[in-house]
Amino acid sequence: MFDPMPWLILSPLIWATLAFVHGPGRGGRLAVACLILQLSLAAILAQQVIAGGVRMYAVGGWGAPLGIDLMADGLSTVMLLLTQTIVLPLAFYARAYFVGHANSLRYFWPLTGYLLAAMNALFLSSDVFNIYVTLELLGLAAVGLVALVGGAGPITAAMRYLLATLLGSSAYLLGVALLYGVYGSVSLVALKPLIAADAPATVSLAAALMLLGLMLKTALFPFHFWLPPAHGGAPAPVSALLSALVIKASFYLILRLWFDLFAPIVSITAAQLLGALGAGAILWGSFLALRQTHLKMLVAYSTVAQVGYLFLLFPLATGMSAEVAESAWQGGVLQVVAHGLAKAAMFAAAGAMITATGRDEISGIAGVATRIPLTLFAFALAGVTIMGLPPSGGFAAKWLLLGAALASEQWWWIVVMVVGGLLSAAYVFKVLRQAFLPVEETASFQLLPRMLEWPILLLALASLVLGLVGIEVLSLLGAA
Amino acid sequence: MNFNETLPLLVLLSSLLPGLIIFALPDERHGLRSLINMVGSTLQLLLIVYMLRGVMHGEEYIYHFTILPGLDLVFKADALAMLFVPLSAALWFLTTLYAIGYLEGSPHRNRFFGFFSLCVTATIGVAMAGNLFTFFVFYELLTLSTYPLVVHRGTEQAMRAGQVYLTYTLGGGALLLVGIVWLYGLAGQVEFTHGGVLAVLWPEYTSQLRVIFFLLIAGLGVKAALVPLHGWLPLAMVAPAPVSALLHAVAVVKAGVFGIVRVVYDVYGVEFSQSLHLLMPLAVMASVTIIWGSLRALFQDDLKRRLAYSTISQVSYIALGVAIFGPMATVGGVVHLVHQGIMKITLFFCAGNYAETLGVHKISEMDGVGRRMPWTTAAFTVGAFGMIGLPPLAGFISKWYLGLGALEAQMPWVIAILLASSLLNAAYFLPVLYRAWFQPRTEAWPEEQIPMQNGRETAWLLLVPPLATAVATMLVGLFASSTLSPLTWAKMIAAREYLYWMP
Amino acid sequence: MSSALVYALTGAALFVLGMAGLILQPHLLRKILAFNIMGSGIFLMLVGVAQRAGTPDPVPQAMVLTGIVVAIAATALALALARQLLDMNGEMRLPEEKTGKDRLDV
Amino acid sequence: MRTLLNVTVLFLASAFGLALGWLILDLPVAAVRLPEQVTAQLEMSGVVHPVTAVLLNFRGYDTLLEIAVLLLALLGILALPRHVSDHQHRPSSANPVLQTLTRVLAPLMLLVAGYVLWAGAHRPGGAFQAGAVLAGAGVLLHLAGLLPAWATPGRTLRAGLAVGLLVFIAVAVALMAQGTLLQYPLSWAGALILMIEASLTLSLGLILAGLYLVLTDSGVQK
């Protein structure tokens, strides 16, 4: 049977390298072609997983623990599918975007290719050391992309991002070293049966180190300091990639470790602590988003807040009845998917508005409602998901999380979710409201090419339609 | 999927698709846009007439769609839905006609009509929702699709009104959501069912059910403008007249109060609600709203603001009818859903005509408008008399049944409320009529935009809709006992909610 | 205590030193050096704990080789960024970090 | 504020360090014994040296990604915006003694690199070490003023930088025809690994030298 797993990693590696050899600014067309291929590969993999459950692939034919295994289960397939689905429209968008911003194009395509290879490899890996390598590949590619624009602001942001991500992966690697010390293996498959509730304290320390490192990379409050300048300062397609996907990669790993590898040793106290940090992120991030004067900074702080929702999953799913945990788990993963699609659309729309008006402050987008209604419409649709209003994917996620919170009688998370939802409505409408204001006749306005607007709408619609087809995603997620 | 299942979807699509197409059209394509609007609207009416026939003959129109495990979107055309759906569709048709005339020459009309269609789609979705989840989906969609209409003019005042509107409705939506999720957690996925479905949870979950009821009513009360949740409504007056007309008569406030009807009758069940002692607080709240709205209306000089406060008061008749235990009050409340809609839209159309034709916005400017615009003023008079409750107009029927219901439930104080409210209604409407008909005009009109032509007081498109609804106000009163009247339909609904009662 | 464990303990000490330096040192070059010290600590620890029984273990050694290359790559990129900041700002440090505080108004 | 942060971080770091040290001293016996498996499978790997076997065969996939990381770092540096100055940067100390010495040393270093590469199969050595020696030669040539800095590498140089990764991937893909990714058949393993190592040596040398030679010229004009 044809196995798409290695190809999902090889394809972006190959096109990125070829794009590099081809030279600065080149490789867009090749990327689009390969991305279409990757999307089909991910779809094939999803079908195989639904039909036959978890799939393993022994690289080099050795098999774990001597060799490295690739593994595709429901969660990793959902992430792979999400990644390819977001990147393909963004690639079209980027091709149109960089026509007007040619000076920051340079090596965008190869960097994006390696970024994608890193994510696909990360989602497929079942080896904690191999995952470390993919994390570094991911981090360096992301930093390179942030620095593309140049200038003091973005370079500073890139530097801070690099230091944060290095600190995070170092903590992770130390955890891996400790795990190897205790068990003599780095394979998830080999480690899982060995870790029991009575595991030595070293394992708890390793778990704490790995999770902390990944939380830093996911920009969970209060480790979010690096995110807004990095995501807000990068070119729009890059911001979209970073906010929609890159932080989700480290979050995916947290899920993997928490619910898979370390499931026997995680405690309810730790889960409540993660939830509290998530709540802090929701409130503080939303509050700061509301205070921003620049469009992309607002969207970036919105990411800080939305990351918080993801972490509510832990107190709702840890130590609760199977039914509640299931509902929270599904809600958390749906939130990952919904936020990914919506945030990609939102950053792309922000980039389009800034391109059209030539101004990056929120006050500068007056009149967008009449000049580029399609883009504004897409922004609003994405906003619906961010606010968690029906019938969007964000709503479906919120529904499940709220249900889990009610069923487990943890009403404090309900308050957080409700208040967070209202705050997010406040900052989304802060933008929409401005867009409806009349604009002075003298304001210059640049018409946008179609390929800049339609991919945004596609992403936003996808985040909305997710609310109606959530059951399909959940059936893939539950495939075992 | 057979035809009966697709029919509710088709009704939704007949207003959704025109809306989406209109968004895509350039702003200058007036003719095409109006055509699409009218085709969609007419098609929708035809489909609804077909469904009405079916429902009378016992057909069922139910559509299920699963979106998450244990979470279905359900559309169901039951008797209650088929009271609200034809009202929305018919008034949408008239309001669209009116809006085409009203907005002639103003900018961004594609945006306006696009959201207008979405707003009607949301209302019809609310009406046909077969469970609370579906109801909530369209309830929030209604919020989102009406916001651009409220801020349509883009003025600072409109923006502020929009912000207040959102704060109230989204806040209410959040409470409603928590209530619904909680209820789903307790009872699982429950469809709207005559007589309610929650009685099985008694007595174990009584206190939880009370809290949920409070959350649901608070969430719905925002849109239904129950005091003290009504603050957004007078501000939302800045919207163009057709929007106000639709917001007040059918869409937003009706969605809220319709939700209350659904929760009391088809979720909790009216008998179960009574046994939990939930109805009395609701009745008190509705009564306070009725009196408070009328009192505030007295002191407004702005015509649309006076009408807005009148809406706050009148919509609570429906809530009151629901909250009085007994079939007669149910008939009165449910039928007022239709009656208030027809009357209030007439009044708003007329207010819009005064503003658009003569630039008259305030009551103090209305001296002598009756002679300048006799037809419009006649329609306004019919609407106002209806509101006051003069027989044989629509409002009288509602109040009559509410009064009967109050007696039946042995709540004589309600009669006092009804009387006081009618007096107040008269007190704030009659001076307007007096000025319009009997005060002579001493100065020029503030801003005469549409001159008198061949004895026609204003544009055709502005005149026909209020006349049509005024005639309807008379007809539903005069022929209240005919088999096709809203009253008969309301009796049928009451008969299904009170299992022991024969009309 | 075997000599391998001495390596591991040294590694732990280096890691802690590096971590504190990475967080506290304001100068970028020192931060980058601190990161490398931290990395060396991890590598020592990885090799040390793996062969605490006395027999050398080639697997962590290969991992350390990989880790070294990754660390070189990261160091190079960090140096390039620091160099650009030096050229633009005239100093090799991040603009005053408002640690833990966000810019309320950008 | 600053001192408070210092004290907190130092306190937490030392507490963490102590805990770490304490726990390391108390490790149980590992459940999985990888060294034995490596020894058992060494014959099948195509090389004699166990570290090389792990690096290029058992965990060759790690190495593949690691090459990508290294290339990516250079790419990230190249992608940084810069204003290329008109003059090519050359170190001022073009000392004739150094130049002469370098002219002699460079071919020698090439030879050493070749030996280290070949030796990797059975003793410490291999592509990385060989590449590092090559890169050292490049840096030395640059410092002696014999090799200009690389502002913007041309296509040939870019191809050279990427060839190691491309060959590695090509071999990995070709091997999928008869097994899984990077599954070497026993008879070919040694030759294929040598081929990969050779191309890696070239690319690694260029990349590592590039990290220096590009950085040299990465300054933004003030």
Tens-digit pLDDT profile for residues C19-59: 999 999 889 999 999 999 999 999 999 999 988 877 889 99
Question: Is residue A99 located within the same domain as residue A1?
Answer: yes
The pLDDT assigned to C97 comes to 52
Q: What is the pLDDT of residues D128-180, one digit of tens each?
A: 899 999 999 999 998 888 888 887 888 999 999 999 999 999 999 999 888 88
Q: Give how far D111 is from chain C: nearest CA, Å.
A: 23
D89: chain C residues, CB-CB within 8 Å: none
Distance CA B425, CA B385 (A): 9
Q: Cβ contacts of residue B213 below 8 Å, gap of 6+?
A: B179, B263, B268, B273, B276, B278
SS3 of D99-164: HHHHHHHHHHHHHHHHHHHHHCCCCCCCHHHHHHHHHHHHHHHHHCCCCCCCCCCCHHHHHHHHHH
The pLDDT assigned to B482 comes to 86
Chain C contact present for D80, CB below 8 A = yes
The pLDDT assigned to D32 comes to 87
> Is A82 among the domain residues?
yes
Residue A318 in contact with residue A271, Cβ under 8 Å?
A: yes
Q: How many CB atoms lie within 10 A of CB B256?
A: 28
Judge A/D contact: 3 or more CB pairs < 8 A: yes
Q: State mean pLDDT over B436-461.
A: 83
Lowest mean pLDDT across A219-228, A383-392, B492-501: B492-501
Select the residue from A174, A202, A301, A362 to test the C interface by mutation, using most C Cβ atoms within 10 A: A174
The percent of residues above 90 in pLDDT, for chain D, comes to 42
CATH for the C3-89 domain, from 1.10.287.3510, 3.40.980.10, 1.10.101.10, 3.30.310.50? 1.10.287.3510
Look at residue D216 and tell me whether its pLDDT is greater than 80. Answer: no
Distance CA B466, CA A392 (A): 38
CB contact under 8 A, C69 and D14: no
B474 CB burial (10 A radius; 0-12, 13-18, 19+): middle
Select the residue from B23, B67, B137 to test the A interface by mutation, using most A Cβ atoms within 10 A: B67
Q: Which residue of C has its CA nearest to A177?
A: C46
Q: State mean pLDDT over A360-374.
A: 86
Q: State mean pLDDT over B293-299.
A: 93
Distance CA B450, CA A40 (A): 62
> Is A199 among the domain residues?
no
A129: chain C residues, CB-CB within 8 Å: 63, 66
CB contact under 8 A, A293 and C105: yes
The percent of residues above 90 in pLDDT, for chain B, comes to 53
Read off the pLDDT band of A479 (50, 70, 90).
Answer: confident
CB contact under 8 A, A369 and B162: no
Q: State mean pLDDT over A317-329.
A: 92
CB contact under 8 A, C73 and D215: no
Q: State mean pLDDT over D92-114.
A: 87
Q: Which residue of D has its CA nearest to A60?
A: D183
Distance from first CA to last CA of chain C, Å, rounded? 55
A301: chain C residues, CB-CB within 8 Å: 102
User: What is the bridge-based pairing of β-strands B62-68 and A68-72?
Assistant: unpaired
- Averaged pLDDT score across all residues of chain A: 93
Distance CA B338, CA B355 (A): 26
Q: Which is nearest to A90 in space by CA: A368, A381, A346, A305?
A: A346
The pLDDT assigned to D87 comes to 44
Locate the DSSP E strands across B364-420. none
B154: chain A residues, CB-CB within 8 Å: 436-438
Look at residue B136 and tell me whether its pLDDT is greater than 80. Answer: yes
Chain A contact present for C49, CB below 8 A = yes
> Is A211 among the domain residues?
no
Q: Which residues pair with D79 in a beta bridge?
A: none
User: What SS3 state is found at A219?
Assistant: coil
Look at residue B62 and tell me whether its pLDDT is greater than 70. Answer: yes
H runs (alpha helix) in B77-231? 81-102, 109-128, 132-150, 156-187, 206-223
Q: What is the ipTM of this complex?
A: 0.90
Q: Look-up: residue for tokens 């893909």?
A: D173
> Which range of residues forms the domain containing residue A373?
275-480
Read off the pLDDT band of C106 (50, 70, 90).
Answer: very low
CB contact under 8 A, C66 and D66: yes
Look at residue B471 and tell me whether its pLDDT is greater than 70. Answer: yes
Look at residue B348 and tell me whether its pLDDT is greater than 80. Answer: yes
Distance CA B475, CA D37 (A): 93
Lowest mean pLDDT across A109-123, B37-51, B460-474, D85-99: D85-99
B107: chain A residues, CB-CB within 8 Å: 370
- Averaged pLDDT score across all residues of chain B: 89
The pLDDT assigned to B499 comes to 63
> Is A182 among the domain residues?
no
Question: What are the backbone dihedrals phi and psi of residue A55, each rounded to the nearest 5 degrees, phi first?
Answer: -115, 135
Chain C: partners with 3+ C-beta pairs within 8 Å = A, D
Look at residue B337 and tell me whether its pLDDT is greater than 70. Answer: yes
Q: Cβ contacts of residue B21 below 8 Å, gap of 6+?
A: B36
The pLDDT assigned to B241 comes to 85
Chain A contact present for D69, CB below 8 A = yes
CB contact under 8 A, A159 and C81: yes
> Is A198 among the domain residues?
no
**Count: domains in chain A:** 2
A222: chain C residues, CB-CB within 8 Å: 100
**The two structure tokens encoding residue A211:** 């999770």
Select the residue from D3, D6, D7, D9 to test the C interface by mutation, using most C Cβ atoms within 10 A: D9
A474: chain B residues, CB-CB within 8 Å: 68-69
Query: What is the sign of the dihedral through the CA atoms of A275, A277, A280 and A281?
Result: negative
Q: What is the pLDDT of residues A12-41, one digit of tens each?
A: 999 999 999 998 888 999 999 999 999 999
Look at residue A48 and tell me whether its pLDDT is greater than 60. Answer: yes
Judge C/B contact: 3 or more CB pairs < 8 A: no
CB contact under 8 A, D34 and A103: no
Q: Write out residues 177-216 of A within 8 Å (CB-CB) of C.
A: 177-178, 180-181, 184, 186
Q: What is the pLDDT of residues A138-164, one digit of tens each?
A: 999 999 999 998 888 899 999 999 999
Q: Write out residues 201-230 of A within 8 Å (CB-CB) of D.
A: 201-202, 205
Q: Give how far D96 is from chain A: nearest CA, Å.
A: 36
CB contact under 8 A, D59 and C62: yes
The pLDDT assigned to B500 comes to 58
The percent of residues above 90 in pLDDT, for chain C, comes to 59
Q: Which residues pair with B75 in a beta bridge?
A: B63, B129
Chain C contact present for D151, CB below 8 A = no
Look at residue C101 and tell me whether its pLDDT is greater than 60. Answer: no
Chain B: partners with 3+ C-beta pairs within 8 Å = A
Q: Write out residues 163-192 of A within 8 Å (CB-CB) of D.
A: 178, 180-185, 190
Q: What is the pLDDT of residues A291-320, one digit of tens each?
A: 999 999 999 999 999 999 999 999 999 988
Question: Is residue A471 located within the same domain as residue A352?
Answer: yes
Read off the pLDDT band of C96 (50, 70, 90).
Answer: low
Chain A contact present for B136, CB below 8 A = yes
Question: Is residue A291 located within the same domain as residue A422?
Answer: yes
Read off the pLDDT band of D218 (50, 70, 90).
Answer: very low
Eight-class DSSP state of B373: S
User: Out of A370, A421, A438, whose CB is closest to B174?
Assistant: A421
The pLDDT assigned to B1 comes to 60
Q: Cβ contacts of residue A33 below 8 Å, gap of 6+?
A: none
Look at residue D222 and tell me whether its pLDDT is greater than 70. Answer: no
Lowest mean pLDDT across A68-82, B214-228, C70-84, D45-59: D45-59
Distance CA A215, CA A222 (A): 9
Residue B100 in contact with residue B16, Cβ under 8 Å?
A: no
Q: What is the pLDDT of residues A446-457, one digit of tens each?
A: 888 989 999 999
Is the pLDDT higher at A8 or at C95? A8
The pLDDT assigned to C103 comes to 45
User: What is the bridge-based pairing of β-strands B71-76 and A55-59?
Assistant: unpaired
Look at residue B278 and tell me whether its pLDDT is greater than 80. Answer: yes
Q: Look-up: residue for tokens 């209202």?
A: A422
Distance CA A94, CA A92 (A): 5
The pLDDT assigned to C94 comes to 83
Q: Cβ contacts of residue B309 below 8 Å, gap of 6+?
A: B234, B293, B294, B296, B297, B300
Q: What is the pLDDT of residues B385-406, one digit of tens each?
A: 999 998 888 999 999 999 999 9
The pLDDT assigned to D124 comes to 73
CB contact under 8 A, A20 and D158: yes
Select the residue from D7, D51, D75, D139 to test the C interface by mutation, using most C Cβ atoms within 10 A: D51
CB contact under 8 A, D6 and C24: yes
Question: Is residue A225 located within the same domain as residue A298?
Answer: no
Read off the pLDDT band of B442 (50, 70, 90).
Answer: confident
Is the pLDDT higher at C79 or at B188? C79
Chain D contact present for A134, CB below 8 A = yes
